[in-house]
Amino acid sequence: MTRSRTAFLCALAVLVGVLSAFTLSPAVQADTGEGAPGVPRLDASSVAAGEYFTCALVASGAVRCWGDGDRGQLAQGNENSIGDDPGESSAVVPLPGPARTIAAEYSTACAILETGELRCWGSGTSGALATGNQLDVGDDPGETPVRVDLGPGRTAKAVTLGSYFGCALLDTGQVRCWGSNDYGKLGQGNTFAVGDNPGETPLPVSLPRPAVSIAATWDSVCAVLDTGQLYCWGGAPHGQLMQGNDTDNVGDQPGEVPVLVGTGGRTVLAISGGADFYCAIYDDHQVHCWGDNTYGQLARGSTDDFGDDPGETNVGPITLPAGRTAMAVSTGAYHACALLDDGQLRCWGQGVNGALGQGSTADVGDQPGETPVAVDLGTTARALVSGGYFTCASSASGVRCWGWNDGGQLGQGSQVPFYGTALGEVPRLLPPIGLGGESVGRDTDADGTRDAVDACAAAAGLHASGCPAVLTGKKVVLQLNVTKTKASAKCPAKADVTVKTRTKKGKLTVTKRIKTKAVGGSCTLKGKVKLPAKPKKSAKTKVKITGTKLRTTRLVAVRL
């Protein structure tokens, strides 16, 4: 979609009350309770949404999509919509194997398979599919999602999509990007698109250390490094790079590399990008938002942008209920929602399409005293995603979506344009979307909760499963990058690995020394710890890694 067309649609929306939707980033989950405290992780997204469509990753590893299919974004070999007519719910995407994470934007979607292979489909504009052309994939019979070439032997751990471009986080911690490159959002020091001509493959972004998560807005990208620091690049018209200016793009001129974002010394646990703004969860487990604030999407009680004026860095947290912390945050074009530690949802920003789930069209967060509003889901939520102008949440009873429904993206088998704008329209009253009898998300450790350990497919580990620590039988298999106390420090020859768990005979502690190897700015640790007895299925298997010049790392081994 061109910017002129976008402007036209938005102008038309003012006249007729119908708005167009834009890109978003999938919900991300902070690492709390399990996993490595202080080590950022990106949740393997179980629900993703684009401009007019939605996809869900279900328990079997299949991906099911619904909504508008005009560019092949439903991967059904046609341009038909699904979910806008009675009886329609969702359709399976023809992938060559089970997926472990998904992402979506305007009219493009991607899935990372269990093997680490990245497959994408939908719009190919500007090389968005990295196929060496601009052809759509999935709109003609026989077309299936295409493989993205990430380099010899490389696999993907996470993927984010923006305005006709994408970036993948590789198993090495490197970030590679492709597609449209206006504003320098590919981080190459120019504005040349990548992937729209034969032979062009995703290009690496110059980061000072390995990344562990990534998120994109329309025209910018941010990466969380293994230190918890945040580096960003691309367009900055609203201060979304939080550099204290609104005109200086980063990455469109020779020699420009991603810039450090000031967070007041706090590490970043999770981040999500909207149209021209970001919301992140810092290590205070609160939500911090910056960039465009036209509709109150920064929840600051005003419409003033943040990050575009001198001195505007280290943005403070938004106001959540007293004593509550954020587990996940997801941004739409001009609204955002957070999943709290008690399973409740809070949303803020633009409300004209009903995306805030209030039975109202009022914006929230643009006036003094306004704070994020509670969403009546009727139960606690497990995951969420904010589409361009709609929102979806997953709970024990299924997935429900509310807001704008132009292409059937709410999956209700109707063409009603909105849900959530009229008095009494709350998500609790919606029937769940049909997903072929399957549930959303994958509870890999069988603890009954989808959390950071279940998200290890996109964590800072190098194991084939995507998890840095895996429990299989009586063995704990490790492969991960361990952060050094100083970037200049040398990796020690070995690190001490202590495994603690419970067996039928009681508590068990085993310590072993495992070799390390310098890789980039980190130390890679790879090896196995054999246990004398198999841990109880209900027991957490805790792993502690210590060593000279290494930061102590704590994990929970994921049971396979």
Q: Are β-strands 211-216 and 156-161 bridged in parallel, bridged antiparallel, or unpaired? A: unpaired
Give pLDDT tens digits along the chain (560 positions): 333 334 433 333 333 333 333 334 445 444 333 333 222 232 446 889 988 899 999 878 899 999 999 999 999 999 999 999 999 999 999 999 988 889 998 899 999 998 889 999 999 999 999 999 999 999 999 999 999 999 998 999 889 999 999 999 998 899 999 999 999 999 999 999 999 999 999 999 999 999 988 999 999 999 999 888 999 999 999 999 999 987 799 999 999 999 999 999 998 888 999 999 999 999 888 999 999 999 999 999 999 999 999 999 999 999 999 999 888 899 999 999 998 888 899 999 999 999 999 999 999 999 999 999 999 999 888 788 998 899 999 887 889 999 999 889 999 999 899 999 999 999 999 999 999 988 787 555 444 444 445 555 433 333 434 467 888 889 998 887 787 888 788 999 999 999 999 999 999 999 999 999 886 556 888 899 999 999 998 888 889 999 998 888 888 887 76
Kindly give, in sequence order, each residue whose CB lies less than 8 Å from that of residue 30, ignoring residues fewer than 6 positions away. 41, 269, 270, 281, 285, 326, 327, 328, 452
Q: What's the pLDDT at 325?
A: 87
CA distance readout (Å), 383 to 181, 236, 320, 421, 442: 31, 29, 18, 23, 11
Instruction: State pTM to two decimals.
Output: 0.79
Pairwise CA distance, residues 179 & 456, whole Å: 27
Helix (H) / strand (E) containing 246: none
What pLDDT, in 10s, does the model give residues 118-172? 999 999 999 999 999 999 999 999 999 999 999 998 999 889 999 999 999 998 8
Kindly give, in sequence order, each residue whose CB lies less than 8 Å from that of residue 54, ignoring residues fewer than 6 positions away. 47, 48, 65, 66, 67, 104, 385, 387, 392, 401, 409, 411
* DSSP character string of 262-284: P-TTPPEEEEEE-SSEEEEEETT
Which tokens in the block code for residue 106?
């305007």
Q: Which domains does the chain have, with CATH numbers?
A: 3-421 (2.130.10.30), 461-559 (2.60.40)
Q: Are β-strands 335-340 and 469-472 bridged in parallel, bridged antiparallel, or unpaired? A: unpaired
Residue 63: beta bridge partners? 57
Residue 497: beta bridge partners? 512, 545
Q: What is the DSSP letter of 288?
A: E
Pairwise CA distance, residues 418 & 265, whole Å: 42
- In sign, the C-alpha dihedral spanning 59, 467, 94, 413 is positive
Residue 156: beta bridge partners? 170
Which tokens in the block code for residue 276?
């021209």
Q: What's the pLDDT at 34?
A: 36
Q: What's the pLDDT at 554?
A: 82
Pairwise CA distance, residues 514 & 528, whole Å: 8
Q: How far apart are the first and last CA of the chain?
A: 43
CA 94 to chain centre: 22
* HEC readout, 314-338: CCCECCCCCCCCEEEEEECCCEEEE
* DSSP character string of 485-537: SSTTPPPPSEEEEEEEEEETTEEEEEEEEEEEEEETTEEEEEEEEE-SSPPPT
Pairwise CA distance, residues 389 & 408, whole Å: 13
Q: Which 3 state secondary structure label does DSSP give 22?
A: coil
Q: What's the pLDDT at 520?
A: 55
